[in-house]
Each structure stands twice: as C-alpha cells, then as structure tokens.
Amino acid sequence: MSRRSWLLAAPSVFVLAWGGNHFTPLLHLYEVLGGYAPWQVNLLLGMYVVGLIPGLLVAGAFSDQHGRKKAAAIGLVSAALASVLLAMGLRSIVTLCVGRVLAGIGVGVAMSVGSSWIKELSRMEPSPTAGARRSSMTLTLGFGIGAGVTGLLAQWGPIPAELPYVVHLALCVVAAVALARAPESLPASRRSTSPWWRDLAVPTAGHRIFRRVVLPAAPWVFAAAGVAYAVMPSVVEHRLGDATTLYATVLTVITLGVGAVFQALVPWINRVTRGRALLVGLVGMVIGMALAAVSAEVGDPALAFAVAAVLGASYGVCVVSGLVVAQSLATPRDLAGITGVYYALTYVGFLLPTLLAAILPVISYGASLVVVAAVCVVCLAIVSTGLRRTREN
C-alpha cells in the first residue's frame, strides 16, 4: 500500500453513492410519466433504506471476515443490477421498489465497507481524521454529482427515465476496473475468525459515548438532506411549472455541495469549539428545520435555496463529526461494524420525507416541520449533556 492507495478504492464508493441518490431529482418525473402519487414516489425515495440498513450491518460483518475488497465487489454488482431494474421499471412500482432496495444494498456497502476501507488505506496519513473525511467526502460527492448529472439528463436528455441509469451502468464498469487494482486493507491475521453472522453484534455500539452522543445525533444527518431536496421541491412545485425536475436537481446539488465544503471544515470547527463540532451541526439543524417550516408556509422557491444551504452545512458537519466519534470507539475487528451501525442510524432520518408526505392530508408541511424542529432541540440537549458528562468522566 501507498499513501495514494485509497484513490483506487474511492471510485467504487463514489459510484455506489451515485446509484443511491441519483433517483432523487426524478421524483417529479415519476409523478408525470409514471402516474404515481406523491406518497408513492416518496415511498420509492425511502425504499432503499430497506436494503441499505441490512446492507450496512451484514456487509460490515461480512467484510470483517472476508476482507473489504470482496464485499465492495458484491456491492458494485448490486448497484449495477439496481440500475438495470430501474431503467426497465417505469410502469411497475414493484420493479422500481426492488431496484431501489438493491441500490440501498450498494449504498450500505459503500458506507460501512467503503468507509472502513478508505480509512484503513489512509492510516499512513498524520491526521487522525483523514480517513473519515475522505470517505464521507467521497460519498457526498457521489450523492451530489450523481443527482446533478441525472437531473440534467432528465430535464434535457432523451429517454429521461432510462438514460440516467445507462450512464450509471457505464460508471460501474469503470469503478470495477479500479476495484480490481485496489489493495486489500484488512490482512487475514486481523480478520474475524467466527462466522460472519455472529459478527453482526457490535459491542462498541453499547458504549456510553455512542449511546449518549452518537445515537441521538445520527438520524438528523439524512433527515436534513431529505427535507432539503425531497420536501422543499414539493412545497414550491406549484410555482415552478415544467422546471420542477431542474429545481429539485439544483436543490440537491446545493445541499450536498455545501455539505462537502463543511465536511472539510470539521477539523477546524472541532479545534475552535474544543471538540464540539457535533453540537455546532445540530444547532444548524434546528435553524434549518425552522427555516424549512417557514418556507413551507410561504412557498417561496428562493427561500428554499437558503434552507438547502443551511441544512447542507449542518449535514456536512454532523456526518463527519459523528463518524469520527463512532470510529474512535472501534477496534480494528469491529471498525466496519460500528461504521455500519452509525450509517444505519443516519439513514433512519431519510424516512422523514415519507412520513411527512403520509400525514400531509392531516398536518401541513409547515406544522409538521415545526414539530420536527422541536424534536431536534430535544436531541441537541441530549447530545450536549452527553458530551459534558463524557468530559467530566
């Protein structure tokens, strides 16, 4: 291995993230071309969490026994199959659901195995946060660029419901070439010797720091992203006409682009705040959710851009700072496991747009987002107390 070995693992992580999020700008397209109701497209958006969470947990345990490279290859195959089904499934919600589940499995592999792989390939770096920053940045760029390219293809390209998936399939082939050359980071001597299914238990997840600090903060990572680029387009689409797909694409790129910038700033924020970057991110989360509630009532497309920027920054700070805390608790044998548990918790928040859409006939987006902001305040208080008690001990 060399200091640049992580660059051979990064394309697979990037492409798997691309495959998980490039569906997001297509929500309006599926309503128009597929004839699906808003709750159905939000179901499809959140459906890949059904594949993602077991993918996170099982892939981490599998890679702890068989190595990172083999598990990443399985994830890449799952992502490619997902794009085949999604390209064929415009008129079948069952096919789309299966495709989204397979895409979720791919993202689960990227987050648990890919993040651990990049971290291990970065261990020659002097900065202790280099691995976490590189892995989260690779994921964020995949999420953001994938959504941006797909949105442009859907807005102006031919066969908008199929072409984005053909592009992703081509990228899977390119990533497979890099994957074949990438080194394995987990030698046989450090692998788990028990059957992989017995490694599904991750004792580190019961650590008091994980329970008091990571657990209450993690779901807000992708709750922020989901509100920014799934809910906000819905509250202003009546003022957008034919530009809804393009608008959703821009919101997604803003959210994840700002998030990428703030991920790089986490070490500086931690230094300035003496290790309280996670609190900074949650404060931003409260502000962003409150702004989202106002935007839902006003229905102003320009205000939604500000919501996306604030929630994107909060997402970026929280995803890295939470991952740093979680991985600092791990041993080499359960690094992938605790990474998988962490990201599984973050993706619970991605179901928030589906929940808000389901209760929309009863509670407006504005009112429900006020409740969301209040719950976020409670979690902020819990994390603050947990950090303070951890320092006192």
On whether the CB atoms of residues 79 and 172 are closer than 8 A, the answer is yes
Tokens of 66: 């068989």
CB 289 within 8 A of CB 373: yes
Q: Which residues contact 141 (CB under 8 A, 6 or more apart)?
A: 14, 17, 256, 260
Q: Comparing C-alpha atoms, which of 129, 198, 208, 179 is closest to residue 337?
A: 198
CB 132 within 8 A of CB 111: no
The DSSP annotation for 281-312 comes to HHHHHHHHHHHHHHHHHH--HHHHHHHHHHHH
57's torsion region: left (phi>0), alpha (psi -120 to 50) or beta? alpha
Q: Is residue 87 part of a domain?
A: yes
The pair of three-digit structure tokens given for residue 314, joined into one six-digit string: 């909060």
CA atoms of 180 and 170, how far apart (whole Å): 16
Structural tokens at position 366: 């504005």
- What is the tally of helices (H) and strands (E) in the chain? 19, 0
Asked whether the beta carbons of 288 and 373 are under 8 A apart, the reply is: no
Distance from C-alpha of 161 to C-alpha of 150, rounded to nearest angstrom: 10
Q: Please provide the distance, in angstroms rounded to a whole number, between the alpha carbons at the two ends of the chain.
A: 39
Per-residue confidence (pLDDT) for residue 253, from 0 to 100: 87
Q: 316: domain range?
A: 6-183+200-392
Assess contact for 288 and 311: CB atoms under 8 A: yes
Residues 6+ apart with CB under 8 A from 100: 23, 44, 47, 48, 50, 51, 82, 86
Radius of gyration of the chain (CA): 20
Exposed / middle / buried, residue 241 (Cβ in 10 Å: 0-12, 13-18, 19+): exposed
Q: Note whether residue 172 is domain-resident.
A: yes
Residue 13 has a pLDDT of 94
pLDDT for 65: 82
Q: Measured between alpha carbons, how far is 180 from 251 in angstroms, rounded to an integer?
A: 35
The CATH number assigned to the domain holding 119 equals 1.20.1250.20
pLDDT of residue 364: 92
- The whole-angstrom separation of Cα 236 and Cα 254 is 16
| 3 state SS for 32-65 | HHCCCCHHHHHHHHHHHHHHHHHHHHHHHHHHHH
Question: Considering its fold, how many domains does the chain have in total?
Answer: 1
Res 97: pLDDT: 93
189 part of a folded domain: no
Q: Is residue 188 part of a domain?
A: no
Write down the pLDDT at residue 393. Answer: 61
328 domain-assigned: yes
pTM beyond 0.75: the answer is: yes
Structural domain includes residue 301: yes
Residue 41 lies in a domain: yes
Distance CA 346, CA 214 (A): 10
Mean pLDDT in order along the chain per 10 residues (393 residues): 83 94 82 82 80 82 85 95 94 93 92 86 78 85 89 88 94 95 84 66 79 93 90 84 81 89 90 92 96 92 93 94 87 74 85 86 92 96 89 64
